[in-house]
Structure 1
Amino acid sequence: MVFARYLTPAAECGGLGLQCLGVGWQQVTRVRFDGRVIDCYGLMTIVRGAGWFVWGDLPRQRVPVRAPAVFVVFPGVYHAYQPDPGGWAERWVLFDGPSAHTHERLGTLNRDAPVMELQAPLVGMESLFDSLFEAADSSSPHRDVATSSLVHRLLAELLTIKVAAEDGAQIVRYFDEQATGSLSIAEHARQLGMDASALRREMFRATGATPKEYILRARLSLAQRLLLTTDRSVAEIARYVGFSDAAYFTRLFSRRVGQTPREFRKSGRPCGREG
């Protein structure tokens, strides 16, 4: 059984960041695939079965693929793949756009390690693929927008799965809990059993930010919530989220959020008094 739809998105949809160019699924029992180079990205999920995948310049290494697994093909890069004699079931999507390059920087799409074998079934991704198949097969005039949104969600789900598989979620939880504390980055690293360099590397892989930047964003996010949900003064909120100097907090908040804390409170909450 085979399902395949190819799309030619409107030029205006380039601003969405990702464009879905094709999507499909098939149960493959035997196929000869001599390899190819395409001019877009491809995300292939193997939900049942096993086989192999090769990519890149010579000499090429054949990498085994066993479900549940995902592999990515990149524009301009040679690739080939084939199921074992027992076959496999695959779901695939072709896409392109500037957001794909962002996902390369974040590690969602890794040219050096395009194959990812998973520890659990691809339930979330399968559900998103089902929605993508439906959207691509629809006669809706907004099909390009709907399919673009679903490709964004597929890549976000893949990134979440990768972070969880690499224990990145544990680091994120730790910093969410410790963001308002006074420990240095080196001290945080010791708490997590690694050196500062390894922490920066793992934190970027998990969040796309350095530990210092993640802490700063977490503090400002908490400050915004407190400004809108409490009557604490700006100085009290500054101290609560980890800033001993309220004036510095106000300058930083203004630069990052675009409003002073008092302006943010006034514009974001329709009633209540200022702190």
Structure 2
Amino acid sequence: MSGFARYLTPSEEHRRLGLACLGVGAQQVRRMNFDGRVLNCYGLMLVTRGGGWLEWGDRPRRRLPVRAPAAFVTFPGLYHAYQPDALGWSERWVLFDGPAAAAHESLGGLDREAPVIALGPGVQTLRRIFDSLNEAVEVGAPHRDVVAAALVQQLLAQLLVGRVNDDLSRVVRYLDEHAVEPLTVGEHARRLGLDEATLRSEVQRATGSTTKEYILRTRLSRAKRLLLSTDRPVREVAQAVGYDDPAYFTRLFTRRVGAAPTEFRRYGMEQR
């Protein structure tokens, strides 16, 4: 086994960023004696060459094959073991923790039930981020804890995107185009040829939101654009994004955005 490793010990101020990088490295691994372990942080391994397996969880433990290009995630408090096959593998790894990592679990990018992610062309993006991460933690690198944390966020975002397949992208594109139409979730599902439960599941996996929440956020985002790019009255903006009652739209917009539509428009114009 050969490679390099750097370890960081972030301060409390760095941990307030929400994500802390604890270590990063790369290695060429052949068969090894590894009985498994339980860590108190998350780990992300990127396998760029070769293959083997990952075993994880409480008994009965589960095992999945790992074949490059692939990534796998280990979770705090959860047993894991892994083993390259006879030819070995090349891996890059990072250890991290913080409340932002738990948020990525909630959004589906880090999945305890599916810790192995097969990668296609997206592996090149992950490799480039790891290259930057390696540079960020070199001796003498300024603000290494801050830069490393930001790069781990990029890794997790790319991992999240990598779990979205063409079918999920189709659902998101459809909702982006049709969110303002006066349709129920069931009617949207039928248009897509899905049942309502499947639509809810696919929207959750692709966006981290319920279907209703994603439609709401899409409508509000479109309303923001109309408020700042046109001089249409609030009543017309409300109708354009699917709300016939301008008073209800104003209350909803104010509660979710933190400013009334007229105030949002004024602040936006002042910042131009």
Instruction: Give the TM-score range, shorter chain.
Output: over 0.9
Mapped partners of 2:139, 2:220: distance in 1: 42
| Alignment partner, residue 49 of structure 2 | 48
Cα offset for 1:141? 3.8
Mapped partners of 2:200, 2:113: distance in 1: 20
Cα offset for 1:138? 4.5
The Cα offsets for residues 27-85 of structure 1, whole Å up to 9 and x where unpaired, read as: 22332222111111000111111111111122223321101111111111111111111
> Amino acid of the residue matched to residue 235 of structure 1?
R
| Alignment partner, residue 251 of structure 2 | 251
How do 1:252-267 and structure 2 match up within 5 A? Answer: 252-267=252-267
Cα 1:171/1:10, change in 2 over 3 Å: same
Cα offset for 1:110? 1.2
| Alignment partner, residue 130 of structure 2 | 129
How do 1:79-98 and structure 2 match up within 5 A? Answer: 79-98=80-99
Cα offset for 1:205? 1.3
| Alignment partner, residue 223 of structure 1 | 223
> Amino acid of the residue matched to residue 258 of structure 2?
G
| Alignment partner, residue 30 of structure 2 | 29
Cα 1:191/1:78, change in 2 over 3 Å: same
CA contact under 8 A between 1:68 and 1:121: conserved in structure 2? no
> Amino acid of the residue matched to residue 85 of structure 1?
A
Cα 1:211/1:121, change in 2 over 3 Å: closer
How do 1:191-202 and structure 2 match up within 5 A? Answer: 191-202=191-202
What SS is found at the alignment partner of 1:32?
Answer: coil
Mapped partners of 2:132, 2:253: distance in 1: 39
Cα offset for 1:16? 0.8
The Cα offsets for residues 1-43 of structure 1, whole Å up to 9 and x where unpaired, read as: 4121010011111111110000011122332222111111000
Q: In percent, how many aligned pairs have the same letter?
A: 59
Mapped partners of 2:120, 2:270: distance in 1: 47
Cα offset for 1:140? 3.2
> Amino acid of the residue matched to residue 250 of structure 2?
T
Cα 1:261/1:27, change in 2 over 3 Å: same
CA contact under 8 A between 2:234 and 2:262: conserved in structure 1? yes
CA contact under 8 A between 2:67 and 2:118: conserved in structure 1? yes
> Amino acid of the residue matched to residue 190 of structure 2?
R
Tell me the C-alpha RMSD between the 2 structures. 1.6
CA contact under 8 A between 2:29 and 2:89: conserved in structure 1? yes
What SS is found at the alignment partner of 1:77?
Answer: coil
TM-score (norm 2): 0.95
**Gapped regions of structure 2 (runs ≥ 5):** none
**Gapped regions of structure 1 (runs ≥ 5):** none
| Alignment partner, residue 140 of structure 1 | 141
> Amino acid of the residue matched to residue 139 of structure 1?
G
> Amino acid of the residue matched to residue 80 of structure 1?
A
Cα offset for 1:164? 2.9
| Alignment partner, residue 71 of structure 1 | 72
Mapped partners of 2:81, 2:122: distance in 1: 24
The Cα offsets for residues 118-150 of structure 1, whole Å up to 9 and x where unpaired, read as: 344501111111111110114234111111111
Mapped partners of 2:59, 2:196: distance in 1: 36
> Amino acid of the residue matched to residue 157 of structure 2?
A
Mapped partners of 1:133, 1:239: distance in 2: 51
| Alignment partner, residue 38 of structure 1 | 39
Mapped partners of 2:264, 2:36: distance in 1: 55
- Number of equivalent positions: 271
CA contact under 8 A between 2:122 and 2:162: conserved in structure 1? no
Mapped partners of 1:21, 1:259: distance in 2: 39
Of 29-38 and 178-187, more deviation after overlay is shown by: 29-38
Work out whether 1:10 is the aligned partner of 2:6: no
Cα offset for 1:244? 1.1
CA contact under 8 A between 1:47 and 1:121: conserved in structure 2? no
